[in-house]
Amino acid sequence: MNTIISYIDENKDRYVDELSDFLRMESISSSPQHKDETFTCAKWVETHLRNIGIDHVEFIETKGHPIIYAEWMGAPGKPTVLLYGHYDVQPVDPIDLWTNGPFEPTIRNGDLYARGSTDDKGQVFTHFKSIEAYMKHHGSLPVNLKMIIEGEEEIGSENLQTFVRENKEKLKADIVLISDTAMYAKGVPTICYGLRGLSYFQIDVTGPNRDLHSGSFGGAVQNPAQGLAGMLASLKDKNGKIKIPGFYDDVRKLTKKERDAFAKLPFNEKKYAKTLGVKELFGEKGYSTLERVWARPTFEINGMWSGFTGEGAKTVLPSQAHAKISMRLVPDQDPKKIAVLFKKHIRNISPKNITVTLHEMHGARPALAPIDSLGVSAATEALKKGFGKKPLYQREGGSIPIVVTFQQVLGATPVLLGFGLPTDNPHSPDEHFNLDNFHNGIKTSAYFFDTLADMSK
């Protein structure tokens, strides 16, 4: 192991140069104008994997951007790790707010600035470089490895979903390793062990068959905006509790251990509220802010519109009112069941004097990685060595649908080993990646493969 770590230390600067090459490619998956450059980036990944010593690399074309699949299966009897990452990046607007060009990687104060630096090129590259260290030194890895590096994460991973479902046997793995999340804070190595799911709806409410004069008709019919406001208001009580019958039935309670762990985290409510510009925080009574965001389900209005929304005053009684709403789900809530409960409840509370229709737009299962699983145990040890500190376990409020697919279709246990920081500005101008985290991340990756092999003896 020492020789591997020395190699990583010795090649530190070269690794940054290579990552910069990776970052210079404008692989914006959502932009048709960047299709060729995204393709070029995929080719670069393919070549790079061969260069670091992986012979079996497949360049898989899809209806969208290519998937790079690779494998090294030379460790019989050892666990198989499926490494997942993505080479595509978010758009760069508003471009004016970038200090340097988004595709001109620049180092300032120990951070490497460029679109994709933390999400996800820089993070996935930590594993490429630890693999290189093993292959150059030993010509082998301590575990079996499969890799999926896709180009459509920022646009929904639709083609990857299909690819995974159609290649169950080929992709079979014990552990899926993903570095696409953030550490809790600088100097605080973190393992993310839970993700929330999602159930997204549009509610369409129709009252009269046209917009009416609110003078001539006000008082005669139900106003659909009033009806919608009434329904939306009734879905949550004053304590932030969601009032859909059965909604909480399958929510897995936080263990005492989890609550204690969350409570010990350095979290300044006042500072957090100030950053968001609110006078006070708010949410489900009886839970801390971190508990509410990471481990409790939510109901949010994402959008709402009705009637006259222009300048000035128009005395209209609207014909229609609409809302987009979504519920974040936590283990063991099932988005399909929640959707059924939601639809039933809305049917029950819909006033008879308006017409309410629902459009189900999205569903994603929540995910939970057992903390005592082999993968998470190995990751814990690896972080201790890589960052010199015991990691903490946190959950994450967002959803990464492909994680659930890997879990369900392949039976792989997720390990979410994030080397980003909450201040890295992913999806925003001046995205950056801390170079200490990059370097320690490479070492952590090397320790992870080693520890995992050891633990499975």
Among positions 281-310, residues that touch its own copies (CB under 8 A) are 281-284, 289, 292-293, 296, 298, 300-310
Q: Considering beta carbons, is residue 425 or 440 the nearer one to its own copies?
A: 425
In the numeric block, which tokens belong to residue 194? 């839970």
Q: Considering beta carbons, is residue 76 or 277 the nearer one to its own copies?
A: 277
Which of these segments, 52-60, 224-232, 247-255, 339-347, binds its own copies (CB under 8 A)? 224-232
Please indicate whether residue 396 is annotated as part of the active site.
no
Interface map 370-399 toward its own copies (x if CB under 8 A): --------------------------xxxx
Please indicate whether residue 88 is annotated as part of the active site.
yes
CB 207 within 8 A of CB 230: no
CB of 169 to its own copies, least distance (A): 32
Q: Comparing C-alpha atoms, which of 456, 453, 445, 438 is closest to residue 383?
A: 445
Q: Between β-strands 80-86 and 144-150, what pairing exists: parallel, antiparallel or unpaired?
A: parallel
The footprint of its own copies on residues 72-91 (CB under 8 A) is 90-91
Q: Which of 317, 378, 410, 446 binds its own copies (CB under 8 A)?
A: 317
Q: Is 230 exposed, middle or buried, given 0-12, 13-18 or 19+ CB atoms closer than 10 A?
A: middle
Q: What are the DSSP calls for 371-410, one per residue?
A: TTSHHHHHHHHHHHHHHSS--EEEEESS--HHHHHIIIII
Total residues at interface with its own copies (CB under 8 A)? 96
Which of these segments, 48-56, 157-165, 196-204, 439-447, binds its own copies (CB under 8 A)? 196-204
The footprint of its own copies on residues 87-126 (CB under 8 A) is 90-91, 97
CB of 233 to its own copies, least distance (A): 4
Q: Considering beta carbons, is residue 253 or 457 the nearer one to its own copies?
A: 253
Q: Considering beta carbons, is residue 80 or 306 the nearer one to its own copies?
A: 306
Which of these segments, 102-110, 141-149, 419-427, 445-453, binds its own copies (CB under 8 A)? 419-427
Identify any residues that bridge with 200 across adjacent strands, giving them in sequence order.
326, 362
> For 164-193, what is the HEC assignment?
HHHCHHHHCCCEEEECCCECCECCECEEEE
Which of these segments, 54-62, 72-80, 338-346, 426-434, binds its own copies (CB under 8 A)? 426-434
Q: What are the DSSP calls for 20-70, one per residue?
A: HHHHHS--BTT-GGGHHHHHHHHHHHHHHHHHTT--EEEEE--SSS-EEEE
CB of 374 to its own copies, least distance (A): 27
Q: Considering beta carbons, is residue 230 or 456 the nearer one to its own copies?
A: 230
- The set of residues, in sequence order, having a beta carbon less than 8 Å from that of 69 and lying 6+ positions away, is 57, 58, 60, 146, 147, 148
- Per CB under 8 A, 161 contacts its own copies: no
In the numeric block, which tokens belong to residue 13? 């600067």
- Per CB under 8 A, 343 contacts its own copies: no
CB of 248 to its own copies, least distance (A): 14
Amino acid found at 222:
Q
In the numeric block, which tokens belong to residue 228? 């919608």
Q: Considering beta carbons, is residue 189 or 207 the nearer one to its own copies?
A: 207
- Per CB under 8 A, 192 contacts its own copies: no
Active site residues per annotation: 88, 153
